[in-house]
Amino acid sequence: MTAVWILLGIVVVIALYVIVTYNGLITLKNRVAEASSDIDVQLKRRYELIPNLVSTVKGYASHEKELLEKVTEERAGLVKGSTADKIQASNQLTDTLKSLFAVAENYPDLKANTNFLQLQEELTDTQDKIMAAQRFYNANVRDFNTKIEVFPTNIYAKQLGFGKFEFIEAADTEKANVKVEF
């Protein structure tokens, strides 16, 4: 009879451990989903700011229409696809916006325009928030991936349906040295 109680105790301890670990994995998985959603929120903010920037710039540099149209087209990619697709679209848009800001430098009236400066500041702030959201996402992915890879969780994490998440990484073009010229 004592052996039955010991065996029952062991089964209960194992069951409690599995439940606690499973709940921990669910918590981490939900944090990764939240972090991904935070990136979406910041990309949406950026998506909504760009039409205002384009309208302001159009008023001062109407002959740069092609560049402005490209900004508008690339903006549409910020709300479509997976988190990785959205980050790729964001990177392409960032490159185009660099060209737009270079155009602004050639037009003193545009550069000095308060609305343009305010929108440029908002875009910079939004870009910073996107980068912070990406770092938050990667930190949560790291925690989740570590949890499902360590012993003893790795024994049954896959059986419970948990798989690794991918990190957001810089594109090759973003890893190149930046030329600064005065």
Helix (H/G/I), strand (E/B), else coil: 165: coil
pLDDT tens for each residue of 89-140:
777 777 777 776 666 666 655 554 666 677 678 778 888 888 888 889 999 9
CB neighbours of residue 116 within 10 Å: 21
Q: Answer whether residue 169 is part of any domain.
A: no
pLDDT tens for each residue of 24-37:
889 999 999 888 88
Q: Determine phi and psi for 181, rounding to 5 degrees.
A: -125, 140
Question: Domain of 126: which CATH number?
Answer: 1.20.1440.20
Q: Answer whether residue 151 is part of any domain.
A: no
Task: Give the mean model confidence (pLDDT) for residues 144-163.
Answer: 88
- Alpha-carbon span 163 to 61, nearest angstrom: 50
Q: Answer whether residue 53 is part of any domain.
A: yes
Q: Does a cis peptide bond (omega within 30 degrees of 0) precede residue 108?
A: no
With 0.85 as the threshold, say if the pTM is over it. Answer: no
Nearest Cα neighbor of 123 from 84, 105, 85, 96 is 96
* Residue ranges making up the domain that contains 123: 36-143
Q: Answer whether residue 126 is part of any domain.
A: yes
Overall domain count for the chain: 1
Q: Answer whether residue 167 is part of any domain.
A: no
